[in-house]
């Protein structure tokens, strides 16, 4: 019994050490909770942690609950992205010319992608177990449908509204694509577009 207790204590100590290793750091590599840091540095770093956590879990209720039970320096690992909870999307900044883009990026490497004429959508796919862990709480600014053990697909707008019922075809396509893939969950940041099956071409956004 003594050996078992000793082993449990060692495992607890190891978990505490891992928690310390995962604590957020400043740009200089110092622990945010370090009391020797100037107050303004600690406040600025803490604000950055909260902003990052909110970008992955845009729910004040979840953030406040996590902050009440964990140090701010650990908030980034308590509030992380998970399927079923909409994430604040990355939004583009319009520019007037290619020259303006090059100037703004200031020599940094970048890539480009085609701008589809559609509606921004965030598609969340969850297995039955993943869905049950989120369906008991209100996710986003609307309620979605799910069925127990089966995989569930939800669609959210750029404003985090649940638009699953607005695009009934999307869950069907996702289900078909994942039928034998072995995939259990994912989040897609995508664009929903209209498609003409006869002409095999995209249809203008207004058709949606």
- Catalytic residue annotation: 115
Torsional sign, CA 96, 120, 54, 184: negative
H/E stretch holding 14: helix 2-21
Listed in sequence order, the residues at least 6 apart from 20 whose beta carbon sits closer than 8 Å to its beta carbon are: 31
Distance CA 86, CA 43 (A): 27
Q: Where are the alpha helices (DSSP H) in the chain?
A: 2-21, 39-56, 60-69, 75-78, 98-105, 128-135, 169-178
């Amino acid at each position: 019994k003594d050996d078992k207790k000793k082993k449990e204590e060692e495992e607890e100590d190891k978990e505490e050490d891992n928690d310390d290793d995962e604590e957020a750091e400043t740009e200089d590599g110092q622990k945010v909770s370090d009391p020797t840091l100037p107050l303004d540095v600690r406040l600025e770093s803490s604000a950055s942690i909260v902003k990052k956590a909110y970008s992955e879990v845009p729910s004040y209720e979840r953030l406040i609950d996590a902050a009440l039970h964990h140090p701010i320096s650990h908030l980034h690992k308590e509030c992380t992205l998970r399927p079923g909870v909409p994430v604040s999307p990355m939004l583009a900044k319009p520019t007037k010319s290619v020259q303006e883009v090059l100037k703004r990026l200031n020599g940094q490497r970048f890539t480009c992608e085609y701008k589809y004429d559609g509606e921004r959508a965030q598609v969340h796919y969850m297995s039955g177990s993943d869905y049950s862990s989120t369906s008991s709480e209100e996710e986003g600014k609307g309620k979605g449908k799910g069925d127990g053990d089966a995989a569930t697909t939800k669609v959210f707008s750029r404003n985090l509204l649940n638009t699953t019922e607005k695009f009934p075809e999307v869950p069907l396509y996702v289900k078909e694509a994942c039928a034998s893939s072995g995939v259990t969950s994912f989040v897609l940041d995508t664009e929903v577009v209209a498609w003409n099956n006869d002409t095999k071409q995209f249809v203008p956004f207004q058709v949606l």
